[in-house]
């Protein structure tokens, strides 16, 4: 029998509603979601004996939604940066990813040193933007004031409004492989650890989430979900880390 404070309750998780497989697909009804992150969240919720309610808000409102109590946690591509850790308390990681720059097909740039004068997009205040800021001579373009920020960056690149954009390898490498309009310029092995962010001081919920994550790593169920959605990427987590 599940014995947690959240047992029988609803776990409200903040995320954007965007098409970004294999991480997550756009919800068909504003409630149901599929992809690696939603399926991993279901594994954890099952361990806690809790249901999930997705609180879908624009990217820049996810952490504020947790801080004001509109959601219990943010589970949505949150690299555990110092800036975010000052606003929410993170669990242990449920994923580790690198970062990729996508440009239009035919563009020959293959290193950061070849990007001077390029207009490069990334999500505002993200690890992707932090990486883009390190590219010499580029003109940075922030995205975020939309529910479908990933789609916005794709279309801005496709149309020529920007020359390329940075996001996590898990969504960018499939995009380059499947859409003839784009090509992978390069990938940087940043090893960003992604965690679940809870309101500062909510130590009880964070401890329960950590214990559940530890359990689904230890029993192999999280790895099975990872391999289902991301078979080309090695599972990066081991018990106790």
Separation CA 77–CA 97 (nearest Å): 10
What's the number of domains the chain is made of?
A: 2
For residue 4, what pLDDT band results from cuts at 50, 70 and 90? low
Q: What is the CATH number of the domain that holds 200?
A: 3.40.190.10
Q: pLDDT of 74-103, one tens digit each?
A: 999 999 999 999 999 999 999 999 999 999
Do both 102 and 187 map to the same domain? yes
- CB contact set of 48 (below 8 Å; sequence gap of 6+): 2, 4, 6, 7, 11, 208, 209, 212
Separation CA 78–CA 126 (nearest Å): 8
> What pLDDT is recorded for position 114?
98
Q: Residue 157 belongs to what H/E stretch? A: helix 149-159
**How many Cα atoms are found within 13 Å in the side-chain-facing hemisphere of 2?**
18
Q: Write out the residue range of the structural domain in which residue 52 sits.
A: 10-94+195-229
Q: pLDDT of 36-71, one tens digit each?
A: 999 999 999 999 999 999 999 998 999 999 999 999
On the question of pLDDT at 1 being above 60, the answer is no
Do both 157 and 90 map to the same domain? no
């Amino acid at each position: 029998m599940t014995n947690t404070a959240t047992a029988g309750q609803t776990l409200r998780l903040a995320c954007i509603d965007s098409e970004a497989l294999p991480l997550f697909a756009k919800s068909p009804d504003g409630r149901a979601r599929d992809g690696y992150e939603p399926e991993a969240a279901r594994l954890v919720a099952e361990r806690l004996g809790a249901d999930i309610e997705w609180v879908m808000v624009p990217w820049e409102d996810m952490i504020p939604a947790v801080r004001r109590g509109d959601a219990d946690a943010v589970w949505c591509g949150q690299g555990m940066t110092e800036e975010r850790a000052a606003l929410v308390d993170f669990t242990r990681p449920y994923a580790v990813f690198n970062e990729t720059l996508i440009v239009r097909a035919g563009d020959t740039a293959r290193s950061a040193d070849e990007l001077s004068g390029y207009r490069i997009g990334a999500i505002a205040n993200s690890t992707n933007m932090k990486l883009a800021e390190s590219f010499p001579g580029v003109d940075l373009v922030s995205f975020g004031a939309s529910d479908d920020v990933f789609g916005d960056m794709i279309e801005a690149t496709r149309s020529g409004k920007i020359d390329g954009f940075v996001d996590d390898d898990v969504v960018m490498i499939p995009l380059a492989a499947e859409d003839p309009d784009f090509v992978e310029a390069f990938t940087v092995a940043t090893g960003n650890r992604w965690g679940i962010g809870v309101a500062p001081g909510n130590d009880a919920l964070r401890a329960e989430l950590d214990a559940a994550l530890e359990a689904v790593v230890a029993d192999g169920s999280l790895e099975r979900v990872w391999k289902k959605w991301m078979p080309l990427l090695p599972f990066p987590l081991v018990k106790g880390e």
